[in-house]
Amino acid sequence: MMIVANTLFQDEKYGKEVFSSLSDVQMGASTMARRVTTMSDNLTDQLNRDLAECK
């Protein structure tokens, strides 16, 4: 999760603060996997929607 957060927020103005806040959150491996899958599905949907609008 922290690798994903670091990648997502590395160029953001408040990225270090977000990363620090996320490191304080306690989650189990299955919760993290489920959330990453949900974020991935959401991102895929957004990209597909944006691509459809470009055609």
Of 29, 7, 35, 31, the closest CA to residue 19 belongs to 7
Taking only the tens of pLDDT, the chain with its 55 residues reads 566 666 666 666 666 776 677 766 777 888 888 988 999 999 999 999 999 998 7
- State if pTM tops 0.75: no
Ordered alpha helix ranges (H), 1-55: 2-9, 15-23, 29-54
